[in-house]
Structure 1
Amino acid sequence: MDTNETKKTYGIGELLGMARERAVPVVRGIPDSALGAATPCAEYDVKALVNHVFQVVVQFQRLAAKEPSEFGAAAPDRVAEGADWRERLVAETGRLVAAWSVPGAEEGVTGAMGMPARLVGGMALLDLTVHVWDLARATGQEYGEVEGAVVAELAGAVAELEPTARKMGVFGEPVGVGEGASAFERLLGRTGRDPGWG
């Protein structure tokens, strides 16, 4: 890995683009036969997690544009809307990257809680990274090495979000990882995931 990778300051749009590159083959590789399978995100099976990711990706586009989001509503069943749900989700991830690549998207505040826009973009990055890892694990797919710049951004976001996210049940209790664990595996542990889940 290029040691300069973590020294350069990347925009959220660029980081989301990196996450999308790993997400697209995973989304396309989800077989219909696995939609009822368990995932590392215990409250979701594969289908429910796909629908959650759909909702996240669409709502974070709105937040990039400083528009109100609708996270309170139940996630629509996008999988039931037709067999092309994979390509529709891939297209939405492209729109997410574009939305956060607009100049000024990560400046100021956004969302009902008036959070810093860069941190909100980091939340989108966290979901697109960790939930796609969940889907890859649940469906027996490779996920690939996460770029150092993505891990660094996520580590900062998780550190800021962790106390509240844990109180709200968004993150599970931390999972211990071995001494040889990668930075991404340590991050997964901090969100309450077992990096060795399978």
Structure 2
Amino acid sequence: MVDPVLNLLERATNQTAAVIATIGSEQAGLPTPCADWDVESLVRHLVTQDLPHFMVSARGETPDWTSSPGALRTDWAQQFREGAQLLLGVWADADLERPVPMSGGGQGPLRLRADQQITELTVHSWDLARATAAAVDLDSTLAEHALAWSRRMLKPEFRGPDKAFDREIPVPQDSSAYDRLAGWFGRDPASK
């Protein structure tokens, strides 16, 4: 039986692949809600940085998050799917309860790194879908999971100018899971 967190990770990779598959070459230069990247650079980040780093992380090692992005092929969705399959293979062999160092300090079970990966993929799927108006139904279970995990892990000291994350943008509590997730990660779900 597949662990629930690995099931969610597979759903997150499938969702990201589905969003990337809808992107046309004419959309490569569109801005995304993630201010540092246009569509192409965000896809490059996901495919050539996140997936390889996630594999290192899934093995319990510490990736070099400062490394430069790699080459992006012309079939972005296929390149992402190939990397995602390799990642899921590493996770299938992992001991999810193995204690590993956590990015905020201390130790925790390896499974927390899978939660971080689910969150990264879910947020960036929303970024790409919003930027390109992708006709993809985003999985609200992934957004709820990412929001619950990140509310425990994303501390105030990681937010603000020159930090990894922008300040939270308040959204009504009855907003969709993705709007609440976007706001939590400093994106304004009301803007295009």
| TM-score, normalised via structure 2 length | 0.84
> Which residue, 46, 52, 62 being the options, matches 1:58?
52
CA–CA separation in structure 2 for the residues paired with 1:46 and 1:183: 22
The CA deviation string for residues 54-97 of structure 1, in whole angstroms up to 9 with x for no partner, is 21111111111123412111222x22xx3233311121122222
Amino acid at match of 2:164: V
| CA RMSD between the two structures | 2.5
- Does the CA contact (< 8 Å) of 1:23 and 1:128 recur in 2? yes
Cα shift readout 1:133-172 (whole Å, capped 9, x = no counterpart)? 1011111103424243652354223332232431562221
CA distance in 2, matches of 1:137, 1:115: 35
Amino acid paired to 2:120: D
1:169 paired with 2:163, answer: yes
* Structure 1 counterpart of 2:128: 135
Structure 1 consecutive aligned stretches of length 4 or more whose deviation exceeds 6 Å: none
Alignment counterpart, residue 178 of structure 2, candidates 181, 184, 192: 184
In 2: Cα distance, 1:179 partner to 1:31 partner: 34
Q: Are the counterparts in 1 of residues 31 and 131 from structure 2 also a CA contact under 8 Å?
A: yes
3-state SS in 2 of match to 1:152: helix
Taking only the aligned residue pairs, the percentage that are identical comes to 29
Task: Indicate if the aligned counterparts of 1:137 and 1:197 stay in contact, CA closer than 8 A.
Answer: no
1:156 to 121, 142, 149: 149
1:64–1:106 Cα contact (<8 Å) kept: no
Q: CA deviation at 1:48?
A: 1.1
For 2:97 and 2:135, the matched residues in 1 are separated by: 31
What is the match of residue 187 of structure 2? 193
Residue 125 of structure 1: how far off its partner (Å): 0.9
1:40 — aligned with what? 33
Cα distance per residue 1:34-60 (max 9 Å; x no partner): 111100001111111111112111111
8 Å CA contact 1:13–1:98 kept in 2: the answer is: no
CA contact (8 A) 1:119 1:157 kept: no
